[in-house]
Structure 1
Amino acid sequence: MKKIFTASLVAASLTLTGCASIFSGSTQTLTFKSVPDEAQITITNKAGEKVHTGLTPATVTLKRGTGYFKSAAYDVTFKKQGYQTKSVQVTGSVNGWYVANLLFGGLIGLLIVDPATGAMYTLNPSDINAVLDANQTAAQKGQQSLTVMLVEDISAEMMDRAKYITTL
């Protein structure tokens, strides 16, 4: 009797779970690096909510799904003073272990468990390496530039040399 109970418990656990849930899980760990190091990263989800903020290099665990048959997507923004801001998209694609449900007869895993937990998806790219470009002023680029300042911020000597433009 005990053997039958144990065998049925094992059989139920194998058929009531999904391959992707077993082998991959509902979360995924991603690494974020930047050149130069110590750039501020902000990770936001599809709804625009901040999921993580920190400095590079960083390792962050993110959810693979956002609901039943809905993959997660994240916008990762890299910022550092003196450098241009860079954004990278992280999106979900179907996990190979999810397809294994077809091979192993895991119908419940195929239709319920893996889609509900988000384990049916893999986040790509899994390693994000951002190279931030240095900001250049117009003078460095060989172009003309325009600086806008408040009158209160301008020295009296400079105001004496300034020419007023009349308004209409």
Structure 2
Amino acid sequence: MKKILISTILTANIALSGCASMFNGSSQQVSIRSNIDNAELYVNEQYIGKGNGITTFKKKQNYTITARKDGCDAVTIPASKSFDATTLLGIFIDFGIISILVIDGVGTGAWQQFDQTSYVVDPRCRA
């Protein structure tokens, strides 16, 4: 009886963690810089620094990166995502029903990953 209880608890703990979130986390650290001196950098319209900055992107959210400088046109780019193949390991835990669909998908968004962890964004300045 004790072995069955321990086995059940262990299985439940594994099932409550999606593979992608367990191995790769539910966020990614991202560095952003500009080649233009004193360009102001924003992520989702929140200021992160002048010239360069480091921030954390949560995989469940979408982000846009903007570079601005007086006298220049602002440039905004989206941070693209793709499927994280580590998510598929959830098939071995519970056929992916809880670990992939609920935990990695709806819960943490960890079934996606950002395509880049380093961005260079420059405002368009007239010569």
TM-score, normalization by structure 1: 0.63
Paired residues of 2:48 and 2:54 also in contact (CA < 8 A): no
| 2:102 pairs with 1:108 | no
**1:130 offset after TM fit, Å?**
2.2
Task: Give the Cα separation in 2 of the matches to 1:16 and 1:40.
Answer: 41
Report the residue type matching 2:53 in the other structure.
Answer: A
Paired residues of 2:59 and 2:112 also in contact (CA < 8 A): yes
Paired residues of 1:41 and 1:53 also in contact (CA < 8 A): yes
Q: Please list the CA deviations of residues 76-108 of structure 1 after superposition, one character each: whole Å capped at 9, or x if unmatched.
A: 110123444222111222111112223554431
| 2:47 pairs with 1:53 | yes
1:63 matched residue in structure 2 = 58
- Give the share of equivalent positions with the same residue, in percent: 25
Report the residue type matching 1:98 in the other structure.
Answer: T
1:69 matched residue in structure 2 = none
Structure 2 unaligned spans of 5+: none
Please tell me the root mean square deviation across aligned C-alpha atoms, in Å: 2.2
TM-score, normalization by structure 2: 0.80
Count of aligned residue pairs for this structure pair: 124
Relative contact order: is structure 1 or structure 2 higher (C-alpha 8 Å, sep ≥ 6)? 2
Task: Give the Cα separation in 2 of the matches to 1:4 and 1:115.
Answer: 30
